[in-house]
Amino acid sequence: MGLLVTSGAYAATRSPIDLQCTAVTTWVCAEAKACERRGDEAKESYSFDLVAMTYQAPHDRGAITEFATDDGGFMTFVVSGGRRYVHKNADAGDPMTSFLYMSSHDMRELRCNARYAPDASAVASDASRGLTGRYYLSGVMETGSELVLRPDGSFAWFMSYGAADQTAEGKWRIDGEAVLLEAGPSAGAEPAFRQLRLRIDHGALLLNGSGKGRYERHP
């Protein structure tokens, strides 16, 4: 294997974690002359695992020993034996025409697909959607509390303890294994808290430092 050059528009800033390529055509390249098509390939497959840092060819496999990316969307790495592979970044699942240089006179045209790790913000968004809803506090004597987590990232909180009522509104987000409530300014009295951290526990939310206080979600 030699140098692989991939064409296509640069449409993503993330680096792929896996490349799956199929050889479609072989070209012969003479010095100072245009490459000539020699024939169609038998659909040989090449794969590059950029997590395990390994590659596999039809008759060869080994390690990816060096790896680098640049601002233009080109990814370059060196495989066993010093052979280089250069990949032009593109959207996940977008097939691209690539060229694998077996030698200075032998070039193979490949069709490649790149796979990317899920975007962190998308994962967080999915997790947030799973927590939205209306919660009621249980396990705290003589105290009633309601918490509403909305899909737009806002929340409303109410607590009643004896004759005292407290409220807060603001934004919420997932912070590690907890939900963090950040209260905003209110037109009325000061909010009951500036920040409140609730640990996520099998779909419920636990009061920080409380052995029994637990917000249970209700339909």
Give the pLDDT score at 215: 92
**Does this model's pTM top 0.85?**
no
What residues have CB less than 8 Å from 207, skipping those under 6 apart? 137, 140, 198, 213, 214, 215
Comparing 166 with 210, the larger pLDDT belongs to 166
CA distance 217 to 112: 46
CB 160 within 8 A of CB 143: yes
pLDDT value of residue 6 = 45
Q: Give the tens place of pLDDT for each residue, 24-66.
A: 888 887 776 777 887 666 678 888 887 788 888 888 888 887 7
Q: Can you give the C-alpha Rg of the chain in angstroms?
A: 28
Domains belonging to the chain, first-starting first, are: 4-117 (2.40.128), 121-218 (2.40.128.360)
Handedness of CA 59, 64, 65, 67 (dihedral sign): positive
Reported as a single tens digit per residue, the pLDDT across 28-39 is 877 767 778 876
Beta strand 54-57 with 45-49 is antiparallel
pLDDT one-digit tens code per residue, 108-147: 777 878 887 765 555 456 667 788 999 999 988 888 999 9
